[in-house]
Amino acid sequence: MTSPVRRIIIVDDHDAIRRGVRQLLETKPYYEVVGEASDGRAGLELARETRPDIAILDYSVPELNGLDLSHALKRELPRIEILLYTMHDREEIIMDVLRAGVRGFVLKSDAERHLIAALDALSIHRSYFSGAISDALLEQFLESKPHPLASSLTHREREVVQQVAEGRINKEIAQRLSISVKTVETHRASAMRKLKLRTTADLVRYAVRNQLIQA
């Protein structure tokens, strides 16, 4: 009995990465890339349109970073499996994406076989983590409570923080998120209060430090 073809989307802001992943998957008859996106918001729309089995995401993508995109995907498409394919291996990031429902994590520096192995595992709804995550780290995740900062911002506040850090003004953010300017201002002020930040420059530094955007 042949395995069913798994439908995959790729969300990464680097053309070369998307092209390389697509070319690799084209050699596997049981995987079909049904779409690509270069930012998180376009990735969410793509997922809504194509309803893929697996989403391959980078962490640092514009508009909606990999963590918030993962939350949104699992909320709207609970059966979807998510593979973080990234260069970031900080423990806090790994913990955050695990809590968001990500069950595959592969570094871009890993051999290609890890990417395929992760997809094979996710295809049968099993987890796969390359050497970036040790058994000890998984045990720590299962036993730990969310870090206060990791859970301090709402998803909407994180979206606004990312948009501000990417250089957009409140009016533009309001249009992109389909909310009022006043609501943007409220979320922005709330986020800065929770993070104990005073200026936009402080907020940008926070976003870079936490890989919400790339420096």
Dihedral angle of Cα 87, 214, 45, 38, to the nearest 10 degrees: -70
Q: What is the mean pLDDT of the chain?
A: 85
Cβ neighbours for 209, distance < 8 A, ≥ 6 positions apart: none
Q: Read off the pLDDT of residues 79-89 as tens digits, 9 standing for 90 and up.
A: 999 999 988 77
Give the residue-averaged pLDDT of 117-137.
Answer: 78
Percent of the chain with pLDDT over 90: 44
For the cut 90, the answer to whether the pLDDT of residue 23 exceeds it is yes
The CATH number of 155-209 is: 1.10.10.10
For the cut 60, the answer to whether the pLDDT of residue 91 exceeds it is yes
Q: Which residue has the tokens 């053309």?
A: 15
Give the residue-averaged pLDDT of 122-149.
Answer: 65
Provide the residue ranges of all domains of the chain, joining segments of one domain with +.
6-143, 155-209
Q: Read off the pLDDT of residues 143-157 as tens digits, 9 standing for 90 and up.
A: 555 545 545 788 888
Identify the bridge partners of residue 6 per DSSP, sorted by sequence position: 31
- The pLDDT assigned to 150 comes to 43
Dihedral angle of Cα 38, 211, 45, 76, to the nearest 10 degrees: 150
Q: Which residue has the tokens 């993962």?
A: 70
What architecture is the 6-143 domain classified under in CATH?
A: 3-Layer(aba) Sandwich (3.40)
Q: Read off the pLDDT of residues 167-195 as tens digits, 9 standing for 90 and up.
A: 888 998 999 888 999 999 999 999 888 88
Q: Report helix, strand and coil shares of the chain as percent, to nearest 5.
A: 50, 15, 35
What are the angstrom distances between the C-alpha of 209 and each of 20, 50, 201?
A: 28, 33, 12
Q: Evaluate whether 212 touches 166 at the Cβ level (below 8 Å).
A: no
Q: What DSSP state is assigned to residue 36?
A: E
Q: pTM of the entire structure? A: 0.69
